[in-house]
Structure 1
């Protein structure tokens, strides 16, 4: 489910793009899943069609979605993270929540560790 916080400083297209990208990468939206039409999602979220079109275009440019006239906009194969990585993320999230770590701080921890880990 995608939501848009119209009071947020984050532009609606970015809210949509981020939520869809997260759902694709987590596997919540599986490979081949057909997304709603631009017009349908725009109506559901009460945003302009151009807002949804921009989010879809950026996701397609990032390789997460594919669009064709015949089959609409679908999730591309191979975009979800593997099961081991997802399970590690779930363990991290559970621990962070148990310790009441805010999301921004948890993400900051991941970024800091990411930057400090040898490739």
Structure 2
């Protein structure tokens, strides 16, 4: 992982996004242990609080869980979150079809919504 210290995205967000993608793409399986906050901060040249914030946000999203001395690991909730997104997408697809939107129009709406994040 490389941190762009001169970019517009804060370093904690770069760390959060990196791990969120790795978890959602299953590059990091359930139970995989993340580096300690201090070790990752040192490796990336970041403040400990910066990495701690990224980990805290990953935990709030249900992607990781902290197990005290056992460290921070990828949570099984990541799979549950993926299923919730699939269900929401199916519901959206059904509703857009009922309302007469073309698939292209429905995707444009989703792209516009995602561009806000």
Name the TM tier (shorter chain). 0.5 to 0.7
**Change in 2 beyond 3 A, CA 1:115/1:14:** closer
Q: What is the aligned partner in structure 2 of residue 114 from structure 1?
A: 110
Is it true that 1:10 corresponds to 2:9 in the alignment?
A: yes
Written as runs of structure 1 = structure 2, the 5 A alignment for 1:23-42 is 23-42=22-41
> How many Å separate the matches in 2 of 1:49 and 1:57?
12
Deviation at 1:113, TM superposition (A): 5.4
Q: Which runs of 4+ in 1 moved over 2 A?
A: 110-116
TM-score by length of structure 2 reads 0.68
Aligned length: 89
More helix by share: 2
Q: Bigger radius of gyration, 1 or 2?
A: 2
> How many Å separate the matches in 1 of 2:11 and 2:26?
23
Written as runs of structure 1 = structure 2, the 5 A alignment for 1:84-103 is none
> How many Å separate the matches in 2 of 1:112 and 1:13?
30
- The one-character-per-residue Cα deviations of 1:64-108 (angstroms, maximum 9, x if unpaired) are 0000113100000152557xx8xxxxxxxxxxxxxxxxxxxxxxx
RMSD of aligned Cα (Å): 2.3
> How many Å separate the matches in 2 of 1:114 and 1:43?
38
Unaligned runs of 5+ in 1: 86-109
